[in-house]
Amino acid sequence: MSNQNPYLRPKNIRQALEGMTLSINPAEAKDLTAIIQFKVSGEGGGDYYLTIADRKCAFAVGTAPSPTLTIETPADVWLKIARKETNGAIALMTGKYKGSGKTGLLMKMDKIFSRQATEAELIEKGWL
Protein backbone atom coordinates (compact mmCIF):
# COMPACT_ATOMS: atom_id res chain seq x y z
CA MET A 1 0.00 0.00 0.00
CA SER A 2 1.90 3.00 -1.20
CA ASN A 3 -0.61 5.36 0.41
CA GLN A 4 0.26 4.07 3.88
CA ASN A 5 1.83 6.67 6.14
CA PRO A 6 5.56 5.80 6.21
CA TYR A 7 5.71 6.72 9.90
CA LEU A 8 3.21 3.96 10.68
CA ARG A 9 5.38 1.26 9.08
CA PRO A 10 7.27 -1.18 11.34
CA LYS A 11 10.89 -0.25 12.03
CA ASN A 12 12.14 -3.78 12.80
CA ILE A 13 11.04 -7.41 12.67
CA ARG A 14 9.79 -7.57 16.25
CA GLN A 15 7.65 -4.49 15.68
CA ALA A 16 6.34 -6.02 12.44
CA LEU A 17 5.29 -9.24 14.18
CA GLU A 18 3.99 -7.64 17.37
CA GLY A 19 2.19 -5.08 15.21
CA MET A 20 0.18 -7.86 13.63
CA THR A 21 -1.82 -7.96 16.88
CA LEU A 22 -3.06 -4.47 16.07
CA SER A 23 -4.04 -5.35 12.51
CA ILE A 24 -6.22 -8.38 13.20
CA ASN A 25 -9.58 -8.06 11.50
CA PRO A 26 -12.14 -9.53 13.97
CA ALA A 27 -14.63 -10.32 11.19
CA GLU A 28 -12.05 -12.37 9.29
CA ALA A 29 -10.76 -14.10 12.44
CA LYS A 30 -14.20 -14.91 13.88
CA ASP A 31 -13.92 -18.73 13.79
CA LEU A 32 -10.15 -18.97 13.84
CA THR A 33 -8.07 -20.52 16.59
CA ALA A 34 -4.43 -20.83 15.60
CA ILE A 35 -0.84 -20.40 16.67
CA ILE A 36 1.54 -18.99 14.07
CA GLN A 37 5.19 -19.65 14.88
CA PHE A 38 7.84 -17.43 13.27
CA LYS A 39 11.43 -18.66 13.02
CA VAL A 40 13.24 -15.52 11.95
CA SER A 41 16.85 -15.38 10.74
CA GLY A 42 19.00 -12.30 10.24
CA GLU A 43 18.92 -8.99 12.07
CA GLY A 44 16.46 -9.12 14.97
CA GLY A 45 15.94 -12.83 14.37
CA GLY A 46 14.64 -15.31 16.87
CA ASP A 47 11.53 -17.27 17.68
CA TYR A 48 8.23 -15.44 17.99
CA TYR A 49 4.60 -16.53 17.80
CA LEU A 50 1.09 -15.20 17.49
CA THR A 51 -1.89 -16.80 19.20
CA ILE A 52 -5.24 -16.13 17.54
CA ALA A 53 -8.45 -16.91 19.43
CA ASP A 54 -11.77 -15.21 20.14
CA ARG A 55 -11.19 -12.64 17.35
CA LYS A 56 -8.03 -11.39 19.09
CA CYS A 57 -4.32 -11.86 18.58
CA ALA A 58 -1.51 -12.01 21.13
CA PHE A 59 2.25 -11.80 20.53
CA ALA A 60 4.91 -13.79 22.41
CA VAL A 61 8.64 -14.36 22.23
CA GLY A 62 9.75 -17.99 22.16
CA THR A 63 8.65 -21.30 20.75
CA ALA A 64 5.01 -22.39 20.85
CA PRO A 65 4.45 -26.02 21.91
CA SER A 66 2.08 -26.95 19.05
CA PRO A 67 1.97 -24.33 16.30
CA THR A 68 -0.76 -24.52 13.67
CA LEU A 69 1.56 -22.91 11.12
CA THR A 70 5.31 -22.33 11.17
CA ILE A 71 6.87 -19.61 9.03
CA GLU A 72 10.63 -19.63 8.48
CA THR A 73 11.75 -16.28 7.14
CA PRO A 74 14.66 -13.92 6.95
CA ALA A 75 13.87 -10.76 8.93
CA ASP A 76 14.32 -8.49 5.92
CA VAL A 77 11.83 -10.50 3.83
CA TRP A 78 9.04 -10.43 6.43
CA LEU A 79 9.71 -6.77 7.15
CA LYS A 80 9.20 -5.98 3.45
CA ILE A 81 5.94 -7.98 3.50
CA ALA A 82 4.78 -6.12 6.62
CA ARG A 83 5.60 -2.78 5.00
CA LYS A 84 3.67 -3.79 1.85
CA GLU A 85 6.87 -3.47 -0.21
CA THR A 86 6.70 -7.16 -1.22
CA ASN A 87 3.73 -9.40 -1.94
CA GLY A 88 3.70 -12.24 0.61
CA ALA A 89 2.26 -14.84 -1.77
CA ILE A 90 4.87 -14.11 -4.44
CA ALA A 91 7.64 -14.18 -1.83
CA LEU A 92 6.42 -17.61 -0.72
CA MET A 93 6.15 -18.96 -4.28
CA THR A 94 9.65 -17.73 -5.12
CA GLY A 95 11.15 -19.39 -2.03
CA LYS A 96 12.01 -16.25 -0.09
CA TYR A 97 10.38 -17.81 3.00
CA LYS A 98 8.82 -21.17 3.88
CA GLY A 99 5.65 -22.29 5.60
CA SER A 100 4.83 -25.65 7.16
CA GLY A 101 1.82 -27.06 8.95
CA LYS A 102 -1.57 -25.69 7.91
CA THR A 103 -0.20 -23.66 5.03
CA GLY A 104 -3.71 -22.76 3.84
CA LEU A 105 -3.65 -20.27 6.70
CA LEU A 106 -0.86 -18.41 4.87
CA MET A 107 -3.21 -17.68 1.99
CA LYS A 108 -5.72 -16.13 4.41
CA MET A 109 -3.28 -13.95 6.31
CA ASP A 110 -3.80 -10.86 4.13
CA LYS A 111 -7.49 -10.90 5.08
CA ILE A 112 -6.99 -11.91 8.71
CA PHE A 113 -4.47 -9.11 9.25
CA SER A 114 -6.16 -6.48 7.08
CA ARG A 115 -7.03 -3.83 9.67
CA GLN A 116 -4.64 -0.88 9.70
CA ALA A 117 -3.37 0.08 13.14
CA THR A 118 -4.21 3.62 14.13
CA GLU A 119 -1.66 6.25 14.99
CA ALA A 120 -3.08 6.31 18.54
CA GLU A 121 -2.49 2.55 18.94
CA LEU A 122 1.09 2.92 17.76
CA ILE A 123 1.70 5.85 20.10
CA GLU A 124 0.30 3.77 22.97
CA LYS A 125 2.84 1.03 22.14
CA GLY A 126 5.61 3.65 22.11
CA TRP A 127 6.40 3.09 18.44
CA LEU A 128 5.81 6.70 17.35
Query: pLDDT tens for residues 52-101?
Result: 999 999 999 999 999 999 999 999 999 999 988 999 989 999 999 999 99
Model confidence at 128, pLDDT cuts 50, 70, 90, reads confident
What was the pLDDT predicted at 96? Answer: 97
- d(Cα 128, Cα 123) in Å, to the nearest integer? 5
Q: Residue 10, SS3?
A: coil
| Strand ranges, E, within the chain | 34-41, 46-53, 56-61, 69-74, 98-101
Element (H, E) at 17: helix 13-19
For 7-27, what is each residue's pLDDT tens digit?
567 889 999 999 999 999 999
What number of other Cβ atoms are within 10 A of residue 112's Cβ? 22
Residue 24's pLDDT is: 94
